[in-house]
Chain A
Amino acid sequence: MAEKILMKGNEAIAISAIRNGVDGYFGYPITPQSEVMETLMKERPWLSTGMVVLQAESETSSINMVYGGASTGKKVMTSSSSPGISLMCEGISYMAGAELPCVIVDCQRGGPGLGTIQPSQSDYNQVVKGGGHGDYKNIVLAPASAQDMYDFVDWGFDLAFKYRTPVVILADGIIGQMMEKVELRPQKPRRTAEQVSQDAPWATLGKTPDRERNIITSLSLEADVQERFNRKLQAKYEEISRNEVKYSTYMTEDAEYILVAFGCSSRICEAVTDILRAEGIKVGLLRPITLFPFPTEQLAELSKKVKSMMSIELNLGQMVEDVRLSCEGRCPVGFYGRQGGNIFTPEEIAEEFKKFNNLK
């Protein structure tokens, strides 16, 4: 019998980290994600798996602890919410530049500034388009349930190590705080020292006579060297775009209209689809599960067949730009969003959808 437990999305992240043999978690309290570290401290995994858990003095420090831990080839992660992610952007840029694997959970709240502690999806641009300086991208996974929160930790580390790059789980206050049934997977052991050395021959674990010293750095002052490195990074992102796009669809086969939504909004848009279908309007939903890489080709294909698309987000229009770029003007692309912690109802979205499409 699978072990199923009712828990918050944030708790699922913590339990998943322990069960998947994560080596270290470094965090700083911020609403609405504090349950991640609270759960870890309560579980005391250092007594069971040997996992290190540490409360840092700031998000600046916690992401740099992740940098240090990742430099030794370990599976290390942090979690925060939007203002904390802003502080971490320095470290994330350095990790992208030093090609270090890690998982970062962003349980989004509203901004700008101190904003609100209510749910939001307004970190899309910050997390998907960069945030820190330089030509880099994060792999971005968008969970829509507590189960996704649990499952994406392991998936995130697989991708992070496969491509030596930071992976962000872009959740929000709803997904983090909502309690749902979560199926737990069996405990995986942490990797042994030998396995870590095998997985990460680049790791700084002490120079042995059989190899040159390992140096983890993002610095190169020679123009040609830096340009070559940046082109290598871009080639990596292109490979990720070719291989790792993940999305789900709901009633898109015969759809004349497409809703596009990620995370908690995609859950709400399933209900919108049902409401509109009941009225005889052929609507389908595409949910990007990876935000980078973005399901550009899939949206491009759909844009050739449908009358319109509409991006539904808890912000004032961020992902919609990528939807429009994917459609390249082949169909009209509308947008509806709420802000400040207000969450749209399915009926509200259905009304907005009809307005945009001139339907009664």
Chain B
Amino acid sequence: MNLEDIKKPENIVYRKTPLLTDAIMHYCPGCSHGTVHKIIAEVIDEMGIQDKTIAISPVGCSVFAYNYIDVDWQEAAHGRAPALATATKRLNPDKYVFTYQGDGDLASIGTAEIIHACSRGENIVVIFINNGIYGMTGGQMAPTTLLGMKTATTPYGRDAKLNGFPMVIAPMIAQLDGTAFITRQAVHTAAAARKAKAAIRKAFEYSMKDIGLSFVEIVATCNSGWKMSPVEANKWMVENMFAKYPLGDIKDVLK
């Protein structure tokens, strides 16, 4: 049988969503960003909301997220994405508005913006990538860096006396009345990625129900920053990151 005879629409069981552009990703091999981008693109595609979606990218490795997902994008200053999203959604309540932010962006320089967007109950989706390190600037300590973890600015390991404790955002914002859905997911296995995708879809759906902010934290790897192979990084994440940042739903006001 000829290969061309098999390539028919009725035989397709999997395809790359057209919402993921053909641009070659700048992310390191093994990085979680690519998988998260893919499942977000699939959710937007499956919901049929490309023409109603406005995305906001951060400063960090995913600053160029707008090169990969085929929706309208705003590129925010470091940490300010929730402020942009607030006005975008309030002025355009019929649109799906989401921010995509790393741990430096959201949990350090942008703490005020995320806390207040949560507190006001903005009807937006926040995707929070927590890999415990600043990837783009070369592997410095992030607010979510674990104690003992070595980074470029904690070369002897994070020391609570010297560097403070890891910042745990999700349970903190769960206490705010303005949040509707808070969950912590990962994408290191196919099963995990499927669960993360379902959570992202729920978050998008909730953002149209006028019930407040939906927050999907993805505990992620940065194998380059962690100086590990992708496989080692996944293993290290499961053994160490999940202990401090356990997966699962933290808040769901509709349950």
Q: By the criterion CB–CB under 8 Å, are A207 and B72 in contact?
A: yes
Assembled-state Cα–Cα distance A209/B19 (Å): 12
With contacts A67-B76, A94-B77, A213-B73 taken as known, whether A56 is within 8 angstroms of B83 at the C-beta atoms is yes
Q: By the criterion CB–CB under 8 Å, are B87 and A52 in contact?
A: yes
Query: Which of B50-58, B177-185, B235-243 is the contact stretch?
Result: B50-58
Cβ contacts B78-102/A at 8 Å (1 or 0 each): 0010011111101110010000000
Assembled-state Cα–Cα distance A215/B72 (Å): 6
Q: Which A residues lie within 8 Å of B95 (CB)? A: 205-206
| A86 shortest CB reach to chain B, Å | 15
Q: Which A residues lie within 8 Å of B73 (CB)? A: 204, 213-217
Q: Does A341 contact B (CB under 8 A)?
A: no
Offer 16 A-B interface pairs, CB within 8 angstroms, sorted by A: A23-B91, A52-B91, A60-B113, A61-B112, A65-B83, A65-B87, A66-B87, A67-B77, A67-B87, A68-B76, A68-B86, A206-B71, A213-B71, A214-B73, A215-B75, A216-B75
Q: Which A residues lie within 8 Å of B66 (CB)? A: 213, 215, 217
Q: Which B residues lie within 8 Å of A58 (CB)? A: 112
Query: Which of A70-78, A231-239, A271-279, A286-294 is the contact stretch?
Result: A70-78
Q: Which B residues lie within 8 Å of A205 (CB)? A: 54, 72, 92, 95
Q: By the criterion CB–CB under 8 Å, are A71 and B116 in contact?
A: no
Q: By the criterion CB–CB under 8 Å, are B80 and A60 in contact?
A: yes
Q: Name which residue of chain A comes closest to B80, CB basis.
A: A64
Q: By the criterion CB–CB under 8 Å, are B87 and A207 in contact?
A: no
| B187 shortest CB reach to chain A, Å | 24
Q: By the criterion CB–CB under 8 Å, are A69 and B112 in contact?
A: no
Binding site for B on A (CB under 8 A): 23-24, 26, 52, 54, 56-58, 60-62, 64-69, 71-72, 74, 76, 90-91, 94, 98, 204-209, 213-219
Q: By the criterion CB–CB under 8 Å, are B87 and A54 in contact?
A: yes
Q: Does B70 contact A (CB under 8 A)?
A: yes
| B1 shortest CB reach to chain A, Å | 36
Q: By the criterion CB–CB under 8 Å, are B91 and A74 in contact?
A: yes
Instruction: Bin the interface of chain B by size.
Output: 20 to 34
| B40 shortest CB reach to chain A, Å | 14
Q: By the criterion CB–CB under 8 Å, are B50 and A68 in contact?
A: no
Q: Name which residue of chain A comes closest to B53, CB basis.
A: A206
Q: Which A residues lie within 8 Å of B28 (CB)? A: none
Q: By the criterion CB–CB under 8 Å, are B51 and A71 in contact?
A: no
- Among A58, A74, A216, chain B packs the most CB atoms within 10 A around the CB of A216
Q: Name which residue of chain B comes closest to A62, CB basis.
A: B83
Binding site for A on B (CB under 8 A): 50-54, 56, 63, 66, 70-77, 80, 83-88, 90-92, 95, 112-113, 115-116
Closest 9 CB pairs of A and B: A68-B84, A217-B75, A64-B83, A204-B72, A69-B87, A65-B87, A68-B87, A64-B80, A57-B116
Q: By the criterion CB–CB under 8 Å, are B91 and A206 in contact?
A: no
Q: Which B residues lie within 8 Å of A91 (CB)? A: 77, 80
Q: Which B residues lie within 8 Å of A65 (CB)? A: 83-84, 86-87
- Among B76, B87, B115, chain A packs the most CB atoms within 10 A around the CB of B87
Assembled-state Cα–Cα distance A66/B116 (Å): 16
Task: Identify which of B50, B74, B83 contacts A204 (C-beta below 8 A).
Answer: B74
- Among B50, B70, B71, B74, chain A packs the most CB atoms within 10 A around the CB of B74
Q: By the criterion CB–CB under 8 Å, are B86 and A204 in contact?
A: no
Task: Identify which of A69, A98, A208, A213 contacts B91 (C-beta below 8 A).
Answer: A69
Q: By the criterion CB–CB under 8 Å, are B74 and A216 in contact?
A: yes
Q: By the criterion CB–CB under 8 Å, are A57 and B112 in contact?
A: yes
Q: By the criterion CB–CB under 8 Å, are B71 and A54 in contact?
A: no
Q: By the criterion CB–CB under 8 Å, are B72 and A68 in contact?
A: no
| A196 shortest CB reach to chain B, Å | 10
With contacts A24-B91, A58-B112, A213-B70 taken as known, whether A206 is within 8 angstroms of B77 at the C-beta atoms is no
| B86 shortest CB reach to chain A, Å | 6
Assembled-state Cα–Cα distance A160/B52 (Å): 26
Q: By the criterion CB–CB under 8 Å, are B112 and A72 in contact?
A: no
Q: Which B residues lie within 8 Å of A69 (CB)? A: 87-88, 90-91
Assembled-state Cα–Cα distance A71/B88 (Å): 8
Q: By the criterion CB–CB under 8 Å, are B63 and A207 in contact?
A: no
Q: Name which residue of chain A comes closest to B115, CB basis.
A: A57
